[in-house]
Structure 1
Protein backbone atom coordinates (compact mmCIF):
# COMPACT_ATOMS: atom_id res chain seq x y z
CA UNK A 1 0.00 0.00 0.00
CA UNK A 2 1.34 3.43 -0.92
CA UNK A 3 1.81 5.51 2.26
CA UNK A 4 -0.65 8.20 1.19
CA UNK A 5 -3.64 6.12 0.10
CA UNK A 6 -6.97 7.05 1.61
CA UNK A 7 -9.09 4.91 3.85
CA UNK A 8 -12.55 5.36 5.32
CA UNK A 9 -12.89 6.30 8.98
CA UNK A 10 -15.88 5.62 11.23
CA UNK A 11 -17.79 8.70 10.02
CA UNK A 12 -17.36 7.43 6.41
CA UNK A 13 -15.26 10.44 5.39
CA UNK A 14 -12.12 9.66 3.45
CA UNK A 15 -9.12 9.92 5.73
CA UNK A 16 -5.71 10.47 4.18
CA UNK A 17 -2.83 8.61 5.77
CA UNK A 18 0.30 10.55 6.54
CA UNK A 19 2.90 10.34 3.84
CA UNK A 20 6.28 9.38 5.30
CA UNK A 21 8.90 11.22 3.25
CA UNK A 22 11.82 9.72 5.16
CA UNK A 23 10.99 6.21 3.89
CA UNK A 24 13.06 7.04 0.84
CA UNK A 25 15.43 10.02 1.07
CA UNK A 26 15.38 10.28 -2.73
CA UNK A 27 11.78 11.51 -2.46
CA UNK A 28 12.97 14.57 -0.52
CA UNK A 29 15.83 15.09 -2.96
CA UNK A 30 13.41 14.73 -5.87
CA UNK A 31 10.98 17.26 -4.41
CA UNK A 32 13.76 19.77 -3.80
CA UNK A 33 14.99 19.31 -7.38
CA UNK A 34 11.46 19.80 -8.72
CA UNK A 35 11.13 22.99 -6.69
CA UNK A 36 14.46 24.17 -8.13
CA UNK A 37 12.98 23.68 -11.62
CA UNK A 38 10.13 25.98 -10.64
CA UNK A 39 12.66 28.50 -9.34
CA UNK A 40 14.50 28.38 -12.68
CA UNK A 41 11.16 29.14 -14.33
CA UNK A 42 10.73 32.17 -12.00
CA UNK A 43 7.64 30.69 -10.38
CA UNK A 44 8.39 31.85 -6.83
CA UNK A 45 7.30 35.28 -5.71
CA UNK A 46 8.50 37.20 -2.68
CA UNK A 47 5.70 35.48 -0.74
CA UNK A 48 6.84 32.02 -1.81
CA UNK A 49 5.41 29.41 -4.14
CA UNK A 50 1.73 29.47 -5.08
CA UNK A 51 -0.50 26.47 -4.42
CA UNK A 52 -0.54 25.68 -8.14
CA UNK A 53 3.24 25.12 -8.01
CA UNK A 54 2.83 22.61 -5.19
CA UNK A 55 0.07 20.87 -7.18
CA UNK A 56 2.45 20.66 -10.12
CA UNK A 57 5.18 19.32 -7.86
CA UNK A 58 2.82 16.59 -6.63
CA UNK A 59 2.10 15.60 -10.22
CA UNK A 60 5.81 15.50 -11.04
CA UNK A 61 6.47 13.36 -7.95
CA UNK A 62 3.86 10.90 -9.26
CA UNK A 63 5.49 10.86 -12.70
CA UNK A 64 9.03 10.54 -11.36
CA UNK A 65 8.53 8.14 -8.44
CA UNK A 66 5.06 6.69 -8.90
CA UNK A 67 3.90 7.99 -5.52
CA UNK A 68 0.63 9.71 -4.68
CA UNK A 69 1.18 12.94 -2.78
CA UNK A 70 -0.93 16.06 -2.64
CA UNK A 71 0.16 19.61 -3.22
CA UNK A 72 -0.48 20.23 0.46
CA UNK A 73 1.89 17.39 1.42
CA UNK A 74 4.56 18.86 -0.85
CA UNK A 75 4.01 22.28 0.69
CA UNK A 76 4.30 20.85 4.21
CA UNK A 77 7.50 19.00 3.30
CA UNK A 78 9.06 22.19 1.92
CA UNK A 79 7.99 23.96 5.11
CA UNK A 80 9.71 21.21 7.11
CA UNK A 81 12.83 21.44 4.96
CA UNK A 82 12.89 25.21 5.56
CA UNK A 83 12.92 24.57 9.33
CA UNK A 84 15.79 22.11 8.79
CA UNK A 85 17.64 24.80 6.80
CA UNK A 86 17.13 27.37 9.58
CA UNK A 87 18.40 24.89 12.17
CA UNK A 88 21.50 24.17 10.08
CA UNK A 89 22.18 27.90 9.85
CA UNK A 90 21.86 28.23 13.63
CA UNK A 91 24.29 25.35 14.15
CA UNK A 92 26.78 26.94 11.74
CA UNK A 93 26.77 30.12 13.87
CA UNK A 94 27.52 28.31 17.14
CA UNK A 95 30.79 28.93 18.87
CA UNK A 96 33.32 26.15 18.45
CA UNK A 97 32.15 24.94 15.03
CA UNK A 98 33.54 25.45 11.57
CA UNK A 99 32.09 24.98 8.12
CA UNK A 100 33.72 22.76 5.50
CA UNK A 101 32.49 24.21 2.20
CA UNK A 102 33.92 21.35 0.14
CA UNK A 103 32.19 18.61 2.11
CA UNK A 104 29.12 20.73 3.02
CA UNK A 105 29.66 19.77 6.63
CA UNK A 106 29.49 21.45 10.05
CA UNK A 107 32.65 20.40 11.87
CA UNK A 108 32.83 20.19 15.66
CA UNK A 109 35.66 18.84 17.83
CA UNK A 110 35.20 15.47 19.54
CA UNK A 111 34.73 16.81 23.09
CA UNK A 112 32.38 19.59 22.02
CA UNK A 113 30.49 17.14 19.83
CA UNK A 114 30.05 14.62 22.66
CA UNK A 115 28.70 17.22 25.09
CA UNK A 116 26.51 18.87 22.46
CA UNK A 117 24.98 15.59 21.30
CA UNK A 118 24.31 14.58 24.89
CA UNK A 119 22.24 17.76 25.30
CA UNK A 120 20.81 17.80 21.74
CA UNK A 121 20.78 14.24 20.32
CA UNK A 122 18.84 15.18 17.16
CA UNK A 123 21.71 17.43 16.05
CA UNK A 124 23.82 14.34 15.31
CA UNK A 125 22.24 14.33 11.84
CA UNK A 126 23.91 17.67 11.05
CA UNK A 127 27.29 17.60 12.79
CA UNK A 128 30.52 16.07 11.46
CA UNK A 129 28.76 14.48 8.48
CA UNK A 130 27.99 15.81 5.03
CA UNK A 131 24.57 17.47 4.98
CA UNK A 132 22.33 15.79 2.42
CA UNK A 133 20.80 18.12 -0.16
CA UNK A 134 22.67 21.16 1.20
CA UNK A 135 22.85 22.96 -2.15
CA UNK A 136 19.17 22.31 -2.89
CA UNK A 137 18.19 23.45 0.61
CA UNK A 138 20.24 26.61 0.19
CA UNK A 139 18.48 27.47 -3.05
CA UNK A 140 14.92 26.39 -2.26
CA UNK A 141 14.72 27.15 1.46
CA UNK A 142 17.44 29.73 1.89
CA UNK A 143 15.71 32.01 -0.61
CA UNK A 144 18.76 31.77 -2.85
CA UNK A 145 18.62 31.87 -6.58
CA UNK A 146 18.67 28.85 -8.84
CA UNK A 147 21.52 29.05 -11.29
CA UNK A 148 20.68 26.08 -13.49
CA UNK A 149 23.89 24.28 -12.49
Structure 2
Protein backbone atom coordinates (compact mmCIF):
# COMPACT_ATOMS: atom_id res chain seq x y z
CA UNK A 1 0.00 0.00 0.00
CA UNK A 2 1.35 3.41 -0.95
CA UNK A 3 2.14 5.91 1.80
CA UNK A 4 1.79 8.97 -0.47
CA UNK A 5 -1.59 9.91 0.93
CA UNK A 6 -0.55 9.72 4.55
CA UNK A 7 0.47 12.78 6.58
CA UNK A 8 3.91 12.64 8.19
CA UNK A 9 3.83 12.28 11.95
CA UNK A 10 4.67 15.47 13.84
CA UNK A 11 3.28 18.51 15.55
CA UNK A 12 0.93 19.26 12.66
CA UNK A 13 -0.91 15.98 13.09
CA UNK A 14 -1.37 16.72 16.76
CA UNK A 15 -2.89 20.14 16.08
CA UNK A 16 -5.06 18.65 13.35
CA UNK A 17 -6.44 16.04 15.72
CA UNK A 18 -7.26 18.75 18.26
CA UNK A 19 -9.04 20.78 15.58
CA UNK A 20 -10.93 17.70 14.45
CA UNK A 21 -11.94 16.99 18.03
CA UNK A 22 -13.31 20.52 18.47
CA UNK A 23 -15.16 20.34 15.18
CA UNK A 24 -16.65 16.99 16.12
CA UNK A 25 -17.66 18.02 19.64
CA UNK A 26 -21.37 17.37 20.02
CA UNK A 27 -23.43 20.48 20.71
CA UNK A 28 -25.03 20.68 24.12
CA UNK A 29 -28.33 22.38 24.82
CA UNK A 30 -27.72 25.82 26.30
CA UNK A 31 -30.53 27.56 28.12
CA UNK A 32 -31.08 31.27 28.68
CA UNK A 33 -30.24 30.73 32.35
CA UNK A 34 -26.90 29.21 31.38
CA UNK A 35 -26.15 32.18 29.13
CA UNK A 36 -26.92 34.52 32.02
CA UNK A 37 -24.12 32.78 33.94
CA UNK A 38 -21.69 32.23 31.07
CA UNK A 39 -21.71 35.69 29.48
CA UNK A 40 -20.94 37.69 32.66
CA UNK A 41 -18.28 35.14 33.62
CA UNK A 42 -16.53 35.43 30.24
CA UNK A 43 -16.69 39.20 30.60
CA UNK A 44 -14.80 38.86 33.88
CA UNK A 45 -12.27 36.63 32.13
CA UNK A 46 -11.83 39.32 29.47
CA UNK A 47 -11.23 41.96 32.13
CA UNK A 48 -8.69 39.62 33.73
CA UNK A 49 -6.71 39.59 30.48
CA UNK A 50 -7.71 36.15 29.19
CA UNK A 51 -9.17 37.50 25.96
CA UNK A 52 -6.71 37.40 23.06
CA UNK A 53 -7.54 38.99 19.72
CA UNK A 54 -11.13 37.90 19.06
CA UNK A 55 -11.21 34.82 21.27
CA UNK A 56 -10.21 33.62 24.72
CA UNK A 57 -7.34 31.62 26.10
CA UNK A 58 -8.10 27.96 26.76
CA UNK A 59 -8.02 28.59 30.51
CA UNK A 60 -11.08 30.84 30.25
CA UNK A 61 -13.16 28.12 28.58
CA UNK A 62 -12.04 25.51 31.14
CA UNK A 63 -13.01 27.71 34.07
CA UNK A 64 -16.28 28.73 32.41
CA UNK A 65 -17.27 25.08 32.00
CA UNK A 66 -16.56 24.46 35.69
CA UNK A 67 -18.70 27.43 36.71
CA UNK A 68 -21.60 26.31 34.50
CA UNK A 69 -21.51 22.78 35.89
CA UNK A 70 -21.50 24.05 39.47
CA UNK A 71 -24.26 26.61 38.95
CA UNK A 72 -27.14 24.25 38.26
CA UNK A 73 -28.75 21.47 40.26
CA UNK A 74 -28.74 19.13 37.29
CA UNK A 75 -25.12 19.00 36.11
CA UNK A 76 -24.77 20.32 32.58
CA UNK A 77 -21.65 18.22 32.01
CA UNK A 78 -20.10 20.97 29.92
CA UNK A 79 -16.44 20.94 29.02
CA UNK A 80 -14.14 23.58 27.53
CA UNK A 81 -14.93 22.50 23.98
CA UNK A 82 -18.67 22.88 24.61
CA UNK A 83 -18.10 26.40 25.90
CA UNK A 84 -15.89 27.32 22.95
CA UNK A 85 -18.47 26.00 20.48
CA UNK A 86 -21.24 27.94 22.19
CA UNK A 87 -19.08 31.06 22.09
CA UNK A 88 -19.20 30.84 18.30
CA UNK A 89 -23.00 30.76 18.47
CA UNK A 90 -23.01 33.79 20.76
CA UNK A 91 -20.83 35.68 18.28
CA UNK A 92 -23.22 34.87 15.45
CA UNK A 93 -26.11 36.22 17.52
CA UNK A 94 -24.06 39.31 18.31
CA UNK A 95 -23.68 40.03 14.59
CA UNK A 96 -27.47 40.24 14.40
CA UNK A 97 -27.41 42.61 17.36
CA UNK A 98 -24.90 44.83 15.55
CA UNK A 99 -27.27 45.08 12.58
CA UNK A 100 -29.92 46.36 14.97
CA UNK A 101 -27.51 48.83 16.58
CA UNK A 102 -26.52 50.20 13.16
CA UNK A 103 -30.09 50.42 11.90
CA UNK A 104 -31.24 53.90 10.93
CA UNK A 105 -34.26 55.00 12.92
CA UNK A 106 -33.84 52.61 15.82
CA UNK A 107 -34.45 54.11 19.25
CA UNK A 108 -32.62 53.32 22.47
CA UNK A 109 -34.68 52.96 25.65
CA UNK A 110 -31.92 53.19 28.24
CA UNK A 111 -34.05 52.52 31.31
CA UNK A 112 -34.98 49.06 30.03
CA UNK A 113 -31.88 48.41 27.90
CA UNK A 114 -34.03 48.02 24.81
CA UNK A 115 -33.80 48.91 21.11
CA UNK A 116 -37.13 50.12 19.78
CA UNK A 117 -38.59 50.26 16.26
CA UNK A 118 -42.03 51.52 15.33
CA UNK A 119 -44.57 48.86 14.35
CA UNK A 120 -44.40 49.12 10.56
CA UNK A 121 -40.62 49.48 10.44
CA UNK A 122 -40.28 46.63 12.94
CA UNK A 123 -42.36 44.25 10.83
CA UNK A 124 -40.51 45.13 7.63
CA UNK A 125 -37.07 44.72 9.19
CA UNK A 126 -37.88 41.48 11.00
CA UNK A 127 -39.25 39.97 7.79
CA UNK A 128 -35.89 40.65 6.13
CA UNK A 129 -33.84 39.72 9.23
CA UNK A 130 -35.80 37.17 11.30
CA UNK A 131 -32.96 36.59 13.78
CA UNK A 132 -32.97 40.25 14.75
CA UNK A 133 -36.33 39.79 16.47
CA UNK A 134 -34.43 38.60 19.54
CA UNK A 135 -32.90 42.07 19.98
CA UNK A 136 -35.77 44.42 19.11
CA UNK A 137 -38.55 45.84 21.28
CA UNK A 138 -37.56 43.73 24.28
CA UNK A 139 -35.00 44.13 27.09
CA UNK A 140 -31.51 42.80 26.34
CA UNK A 141 -29.70 40.97 29.12
CA UNK A 142 -25.95 41.43 29.57
CA UNK A 143 -25.66 43.95 26.75
CA UNK A 144 -22.37 45.51 27.83
CA UNK A 145 -20.91 42.07 28.58
CA UNK A 146 -21.86 40.88 25.09
CA UNK A 147 -20.10 43.83 23.52
CA UNK A 148 -17.06 43.06 25.63
CA UNK A 149 -16.70 39.36 24.87
CA UNK A 150 -17.76 39.56 21.20
CA UNK A 151 -16.09 42.81 20.20
CA UNK A 152 -12.49 43.40 19.18
CA UNK A 153 -11.51 45.10 22.44
CA UNK A 154 -8.98 43.38 24.68
CA UNK A 155 -10.62 44.75 27.85
CA UNK A 156 -7.39 45.68 29.58
CA UNK A 157 -8.85 48.79 31.08
CA UNK A 158 -9.52 50.40 27.70
CA UNK A 159 -13.06 49.11 27.24
CA UNK A 160 -14.81 52.32 28.19
CA UNK A 161 -16.98 53.03 25.18
CA UNK A 162 -20.56 52.19 26.06
CA UNK A 163 -23.78 51.70 24.21
CA UNK A 164 -24.95 55.17 25.24
CA UNK A 165 -22.13 56.87 23.34
CA UNK A 166 -23.30 55.26 20.12
CA UNK A 167 -26.60 57.11 20.52
CA UNK A 168 -25.13 60.48 21.45
CA UNK A 169 -25.62 60.36 25.23
CA UNK A 170 -23.26 59.73 28.10
CA UNK A 171 -23.42 56.90 30.61
CA UNK A 172 -24.88 59.21 33.25
CA UNK A 173 -27.62 60.42 30.92
CA UNK A 174 -28.54 56.88 29.96
CA UNK A 175 -28.67 55.55 33.53
CA UNK A 176 -29.57 58.48 35.74
CA UNK A 177 -31.96 60.84 34.01
CA UNK A 178 -32.10 63.59 36.65
CA UNK A 179 -33.37 67.14 36.47
CA UNK A 180 -30.80 69.97 36.41
CA UNK A 181 -29.71 71.33 39.78
CA UNK A 182 -31.88 74.28 40.83
CA UNK A 183 -28.84 76.16 42.12
CA UNK A 184 -27.19 75.87 38.73
CA UNK A 185 -30.31 77.20 37.03
CA UNK A 186 -30.47 80.24 39.33
CA UNK A 187 -26.81 81.10 38.97
CA UNK A 188 -25.78 84.18 37.03
CA UNK A 189 -24.27 83.72 33.57
CA UNK A 190 -20.81 84.62 34.87
CA UNK A 191 -21.09 81.96 37.61
CA UNK A 192 -22.15 79.32 35.11
CA UNK A 193 -19.34 80.22 32.78
CA UNK A 194 -21.71 80.24 29.83
CA UNK A 195 -21.20 83.94 28.98
CA UNK A 196 -18.25 86.30 29.46
CA UNK A 197 -18.68 89.07 32.07
CA UNK A 198 -20.22 92.27 30.76
CA UNK A 199 -17.65 94.82 29.66
CA UNK A 200 -17.96 98.15 31.60
CA UNK A 201 -19.24 101.02 29.52
CA UNK A 202 -16.66 103.74 28.92
CA UNK A 203 -17.47 107.13 27.39
CA UNK A 204 -15.15 107.97 24.55
CA UNK A 205 -15.13 111.38 22.91
CA UNK A 206 -15.40 111.42 19.19
CA UNK A 207 -12.95 113.40 17.03
CA UNK A 208 -15.77 115.86 16.22
CA UNK A 209 -16.41 116.70 19.88
CA UNK A 210 -12.66 117.16 20.43
CA UNK A 211 -12.45 119.69 17.62
CA UNK A 212 -15.52 121.42 19.03
CA UNK A 213 -13.83 121.72 22.44
CA UNK A 214 -10.66 123.18 20.91
CA UNK A 215 -12.72 125.73 18.92
CA UNK A 216 -14.63 126.85 22.01
CA UNK A 217 -11.38 127.28 23.95
CA UNK A 218 -9.87 129.40 21.16
CA UNK A 219 -12.94 131.64 21.10
CA UNK A 220 -12.77 132.05 24.87
CA UNK A 221 -9.06 132.97 24.77
CA UNK A 222 -9.70 135.51 22.01
CA UNK A 223 -12.43 137.15 24.07
CA UNK A 224 -10.10 137.44 27.07
CA UNK A 225 -7.45 139.09 24.91
CA UNK A 226 -10.00 141.62 23.61
CA UNK A 227 -11.10 142.46 27.17
CA UNK A 228 -7.50 142.86 28.32
CA UNK A 229 -6.74 145.10 25.34
CA UNK A 230 -9.77 147.26 26.12
CA UNK A 231 -8.76 147.60 29.77
CA UNK A 232 -5.26 148.66 28.70
CA UNK A 233 -6.58 151.37 26.40
CA UNK A 234 -8.88 152.66 29.15
CA UNK A 235 -5.94 152.89 31.55
CA UNK A 236 -3.90 154.92 29.09
CA UNK A 237 -6.77 157.34 28.62
CA UNK A 238 -7.03 157.96 32.34
Aligned equivalent of 1:107: 116
Contact (CA 8 Å) 1:92, 1:98: kept in 2 or not?
Answer: no
Match of 2:87 in 1: 78
Instruction: Look at both structures and tell me which one has the larger radius of gyration over its CA atoms.
Output: 2
Structure 1: tracts of 5 or more residues without a match:
1-14
1:60–1:119 Cα change, 3 Å: same
- Counterparts of 1:1-149 in structure 2, within 5 Å, are 17-21=26-30, 24-46=31-53, 48-65=55-72, 66-144=75-153, 145=155
Structure whose residues are more often strand by fraction: 1
Q: Distance in 2 between matches of 1:59 and 1:73?
A: 11
Please report how far the alpha carbon of residue 67 of structure 1 lies from its aligned counterpart in structure 2 after TM superposition.
1.6
User: C-alpha offsets along residues 51-87 of structure 1, whole Å, 9 cap, x if unaligned?
Assistant: 2321221122112223211211101111211222222
In the TM superposition, residue 108 of structure 1 has moved relative to its aligned partner by 0.7
Match of 2:184 in 1: none
Paired residue secondary structure (2:148): helix
Unaligned runs of 5+ residues in structure 2 are 1-23, 158-238
Match of 1:9 in 2: none
Question: What's the Cα RMSD here?
Answer: 2.3
**In 1, Cα distance between equivalents of 2:62 and 2:100:** 33
Residue-pair matches, total: 131
Report the Cα distance in structure 2 between the residues aligned to 1:87 and 1:146, rounded to whole angstroms. 26
Instruction: Find the aligned partners of 1:86 and 1:115 in 2 and give their Cα distance.
Output: 19
Larger RCO: 1 or 2 (CA < 8 Å, sep 6+): 1
TM norm structure 1: 0.74
Query: Which structure's residues are more often helix, by fraction?
Result: 2
Cα distance change of structure 1 residues 121 and 87 upon mapping to structure 2, 3 Å threshold? closer
Task: State the TM-score, normalizing by the size of structure 2.
Answer: 0.49
Helix, strand or coil at the partner of 1:102: helix
Kindly state the Cα deviation for residue 99 of structure 1 after the two structures are TM-superposed: 2.3
